[in-house]
């Protein structure tokens, strides 16, 4: 099997290390002999022997595999390439982690938005008066629920606070009735009729009326939200649910 340049470089590194280790071991033994006062070789002699042996080994390997320095250079380049690839992989991993985090945040916001629409449906189904439809954004802030059971509890709390009761106002003559639109429309109209006068025009011919049953459709509500608010202020929300 033909040995690749990378394999040669790896093997040469290993053999070089072994040669250095053997030289170090020889040096260590020489020092031990000197400490026992049994010197056999001088330091200069040992150094020359090591250099000679290493040079001979290097020359032999060069004859077999070519220039060792070039092989070593190739091995170093390969190491740098591998290190660079690891860095790129780390960058991609970080980028993927950030993308996953952002996707999770968007999904969380989407789920929260869907549940807000469910809360609006619950408010309408439980009979939120037409004149209070414009208060829905404020009511949502008073509904921290995140589950069906918690939503039921929120609705019950709102009922206890009278949120689903129609707004009632009293006119100057002491007559009382449910407010419509601006909060006094129904009473003022009633008073005007009792006095034999025609109720003041409020531009209703330009405002579309809506049925309460239509407001239960969330998509419909979202599409016509501004018109529904105008109709609510003008008292043009028709109760067709008895």
DSSP code of residue 235: T
pLDDT score recorded for residue 189: 43
Highest-confidence segment of 41-55, 60-74, 164-178:
41-55
Strands (E), the chain: 168-170, 176-178, 210-211, 237-238
DSSP code of residue 237: E
Among the listed ranges 26-30, 90-94, 150-154, 157-161, which one has the minimum average pLDDT value? Answer: 90-94
CB neighbours of 98 closer than 8 A, spacing ≥ 6? none
pLDDT tens digits for 86-139?
A: 677 777 787 788 888 888 888 877 777 788 888 898 888 888 888 888 888 889
Pairing of strands 176-178, 210-211: unpaired
pLDDT score recorded for residue 153: 93
Structure tokens at 31: 């020092």
* More confident site: 35 or 195: 35
For range 230-240, the mean pLDDT: 78
- Residue 198 — very low, low, confident or very high, per pLDDT cuts 50/70/90? very low
pLDDT score recorded for residue 152: 92
Q: Rounded CA gap, 133 and 120, in Å?
A: 10
Q: Answer whether residue 172 shows pLDDT above 70.
A: no
CB neighbours of 36 closer than 8 A, spacing ≥ 6? none
Q: Rounded CA gap, 180 and 233, in Å?
A: 7
pLDDT score recorded for residue 190: 42
Structure tokens at 147: 């589950």
Give the bridge partners for 176, in sequence order: 170
């Amino acid at each position: 099997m033909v040995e690749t340049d990378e394999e040669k470089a790896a093997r040469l590194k290993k053999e070089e290390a072994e040669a250095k280790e053997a030289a170090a071991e020889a040096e260590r033994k020489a020092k031990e002999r000197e400490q026992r006062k049994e010197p056999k070789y001088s330091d200069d002699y040992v150094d020359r022997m090591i250099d000679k042996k290493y040079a001979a080994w290097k020359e032999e390997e060069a004859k077999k595999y070519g220039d060792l320095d070039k092989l070593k250079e190739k091995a170093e380049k390969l190491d740098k390439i591998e290190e660079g690839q690891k860095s790129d992989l780390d960058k991609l991993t970080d980028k993927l982690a950030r993308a996953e985090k952002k996707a999770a945040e968007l999904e969380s916001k989407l789920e929260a938005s869907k549940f807000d629409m469910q809360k609006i449906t619950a408010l309408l189904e439980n009979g939120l008066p037409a004149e209070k439809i414009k208060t829905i954004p404020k009511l949502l802030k008073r509904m921290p629920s995140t589950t069906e059971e918690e939503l039921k509890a929120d609705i019950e709390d709102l009922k206890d606070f009278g949120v689903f009761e129609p707004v009632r106002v009293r006119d100057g003559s002491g007559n009382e009735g449910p407010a419509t639109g601006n909060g006094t429309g129904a009473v003022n109209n009633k008073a005007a009729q009792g006095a034999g006068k025609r109720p003041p025009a409020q531009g209703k011919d330009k405002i579309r009326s809506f049925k309460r049953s239509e407001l239960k459709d969330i998509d419909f509500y979202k599409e016509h939200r501004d018109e529904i608010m105008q109709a609510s202020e003008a008292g043009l929300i028709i109760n067709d649910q008895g």
